[in-house]
Amino acid sequence: MSVNIAKNVLLNESRAISKLAERINEDFNHIIELLSKTHGRIIVTGMGKPGFIAQKVSATLSSTGTPSLYLHPAEASHGDLGRVTSGDVIIAFSNSGETEEVIKLLPIIKKIGAKLIAITGNIKSSLARASDFIIDSSVDKEACPMGLAPTTSTTAMLAIGDALAVALLKKKNFQPKDFALFHPGGALGKRLLLKVEDIMRSIDRVPVVFKDMKIKDALLEITKKRSGSASIIDKNGKLLGMFTDGDLRRHFERGKDLMNLKVDKIMTENPFTIGPTKLAAEAVEILKNKKIDELPVVDKNGKLLGLVDVQDILDVGLV
Which fold does the domain 193-315 belong to in CATH? CBS-domain (3.10.580)
Intervals of the chain under pLDDT 50: 183
Q: What is the pLDDT of residue 80?
A: 84
CA distance 161 to 52: 12
pTM for the structure as a whole: 0.63
Question: How much of the chain is helix, strand and coil, in % rounded to 5?
Answer: 50, 20, 30
Q: What is the pLDDT of residue 95?
A: 95
Q: Where in the chain is the domain with CATH 3.10.580.10?
A: 193-315
pLDDT digits (tens, 9 = 90+) for 48-102: 999 999 999 999 998 888 889 999 999 988 878 888 999 999 999 999 999 999 9
Residue (of 192, 170, 156, 158) closest to 280 by Cα position: 192
Residue (of 296, 246, 281, 237) closest to 266 by Cα position: 246
Q: Is 72 annotated as a binding residue?
A: yes
Q: Where in the chain is the domain with CATH 3.40.50.10490?
A: 2-174
Second CATH level (architecture) for the domain 2-174? 3-Layer(aba) Sandwich (3.40)
| CB under 8 A, 24+ apart: contacts of 158-161 | 158/53, 158/56, 158/57, 159/17, 159/20, 160/20, 160/119, 160/135, 161/44, 161/53, 161/54, 161/56, 161/57, 161/60, 161/91, 161/119
CA distance 74 to 47: 8
